[in-house]
Amino acid sequence: MAQLELELWRAFAVAAVRLFVVARGGAVIWPELEAFLAFGSWVPDNVPGAAAAGVKRIDPHHLTYARQTLESLGELRRAESVLQGRTVAAWIHVPTRDELQATAVDRRAASVRRRYRTFLGWTRNETCGDVAERLTHATLRSLAGRHLWIDDAPRGQVARLDGKAVPGGPLDHAGYWAINPDDPRAGWVPFAVEVKNVRHLIYPTQREIWDLLAKAGAFPDRVPVLITRRVHYWTYKMFATLGAVAYQSERQWFSPTIDPVRFAAVTRDLGLTDAIRVANPDAPNAALTKWLTVTLRKPTHHDPRQLMVRSAQLWARAAPICANYLTLREDLDPDERHETYEQFLEDLEAEGFDTEDFAGPLRE
């Protein structure tokens, strides 16, 4: 992404949010806005000065700042409705509602809330989370016997590793990755997996990260592996420093049992085009297979070791520190979460780790 000062990022974010909500008829749901502004090409095409400044996308934390700013100015208003027992919010551009017929904007808000409520219904475990775990399990099993070995525990129920209980609850998968699939004598790298088939971009402070790192911290010889839709640059930097690895699918996987016509209509209308129905969740995934068998074997220009081998050596140092932060898996208020995360960074720095590149929004 473009290298801009914080205030410029924020200025572009405010302009982009304002323009986008107006362009969408005065009302949006937030994942719709993020889909276009954080992951699509809407910003350089529609925000004055963005293309010239090299701004292609705007990260969600800047968009959140913009939303809060526009709320404080009275330009954006949250409009909630309870649909089938779930509260669903739309964001209304107040000047547009005042200038046009309020009924038209309110109808637009109601319409996007209904579509998003339908989408949220598909994100339940049976049609979303479980699908990703099945796909991951099928991929791991397809590689077993040569590229890796997997533990006997059922998927999603890895409650013990190396004779020891997993703190904080079970992991999704675990196994051993072959350093040289053509020569078992070369050895293995033990690993532990969490699958997070979620919509949002994952930042270093978020619970999904610590559901993996804090649990795996009890096992310094098990490289933590995160499989998810998207992770932030800071998260990649943190993982590279700690010795964890992340697979970014760029897809949110859903069950083939969902009606295809309805699914296509809802995801298209909301811009959630990377949400896909998986034809067979119990078949190996080609992209994930390539990552496990090719990408994890790559060296870097400054380090000849395979990525997985290099990660194992780093994680042995970082794991005991991560193990102390099971609380970051909990539903903490924002101030407590950031205070705890800051303490984690201080603990890392005390052990000689460089945390400058993955500190997160508060240190941006």
Which of 288, 314, 309 is closest to 299 using CA atoms? 309
Do 180 and 54 belong to one domain? Answer: no
Length of the chain: 364
Do the Cβ atoms of 170 and 160 come closer than 8 Å? Answer: no
What's the pLDDT at 122? 97
Residue 85 scores a pLDDT above 90: no
What's the pLDDT at 357? 73
Do the Cβ atoms of 234 and 258 come closer than 8 Å? Answer: no
What's the pLDDT at 59? 96
| Within a domain: 14 | yes
Residue 86 scores a pLDDT above 90: no
Do 196 and 244 belong to one domain? Answer: yes
Beta-bridge partners for 86: 83
Rounded CA-CA distance 351/347 in Å is: 7
Residues 15-59: tens digit of each pLDDT: 999 999 999 999 999 999 999 999 999 999 999 999 999 999 999
| Within a domain: 112 | yes
Do 86 and 173 belong to one domain? Answer: no
What's the pLDDT at 213? 98
Which of 248, 247, 240 is closest to 356 using CA atoms? 240
Do 231 and 106 belong to one domain? Answer: no
Residues 102-117: tens digit of each pLDDT: 889 999 999 999 999 9
Do 145 and 250 belong to one domain? Answer: yes
Residues 171-219: tens digit of each pLDDT: 999 999 999 999 988 999 999 999 999 999 999 999 999 999 999 999 9
| Within a domain: 49 | yes
| Within a domain: 355 | yes
| Within a domain: 1 | no
Do 65 and 158 belong to one domain? Answer: no
Residue 167 scores a pLDDT above 90: yes
Backbone Cα Rg of the chain = 22
In the chain, beta strands by DSSP E: 27-28, 76-83, 86-93, 148-150, 160-161, 164-165, 173-178, 188-196, 223-228, 245-248, 252-254, 275-277
Do 143 and 280 belong to one domain? Answer: yes
Which of 98, 122, 146 represents a domain boundary (last residue)?
Answer: 122
Which of 70, 101, 122 represents a domain boundary (last residue)?
Answer: 122
Q: How confident is the model at residue 363 (pLDDT cuts 50, 70, 90)?
A: low
Do the Cβ atoms of 277 and 255 come closer than 8 Å? Answer: yes
Which of 94, 122, 150 represents a domain boundary (last residue)?
Answer: 122
Q: At what angle do helices 307-322 and 207-216 cross, to 10 degrees?
A: 90
**Count of domains forming the chain:** 2
* Structural domain that includes position 242: 125-363
| Within a domain: 331 | yes
DSSP letter assigned to residue 356: G
Q: How confident is the model at residue 159 (pLDDT cuts 50, 70, 90)?
A: very high
Q: Which of 60-69, 95-104, 121-130, 320-329 has the lowest mean pLDDT?
A: 95-104
Beta-bridge partners for 27: 92
Q: How confident is the model at residue 1 (pLDDT cuts 50, 70, 90)?
A: low
What's the pLDDT at 226? 98
Rounded CA-CA distance 269/36 in Å is: 12
163: left (phi over 0), alpha (psi -120 to 50) or beta: left
Do the Cβ atoms of 203 and 334 come closer than 8 Å? Answer: no
What's the pLDDT at 241? 94
Do 68 and 86 belong to one domain? Answer: yes
Q: Which of 64-73, 78-87, 149-158, 241-250 has the lowest mean pLDDT?
A: 78-87
Rounded CA-CA distance 117/115 in Å is: 5
| Within a domain: 168 | yes
For residues 273 and 356, the model is more confident at: 273
Do 282 and 356 belong to one domain? Answer: yes
Residue range 260-267: average pLDDT? 97
What's the pLDDT at 361? 54
Do 138 and 71 belong to one domain? Answer: no
Do 155 and 115 belong to one domain? Answer: no
Question: β-pairing, 188-196 with 223-228?
Answer: parallel
CA distances from 10 to 18, 52, 55, 297, 359 (A): 12, 16, 12, 39, 18
| Within a domain: 70 | yes
How crowded is residue 127: how many other Cβ atoms within 10 Å of its Cβ? 17
Q: How confident is the model at residue 152 (pLDDT cuts 50, 70, 90)?
A: confident
Q: How confident is the model at residue 125 (pLDDT cuts 50, 70, 90)?
A: very high
What's the pLDDT at 160? 95
Do 31 and 132 belong to one domain? Answer: no
What's the pLDDT at 82? 85
| CATH code, 96 | 1.10.10.10
Token pair listed for 26: 């005065």
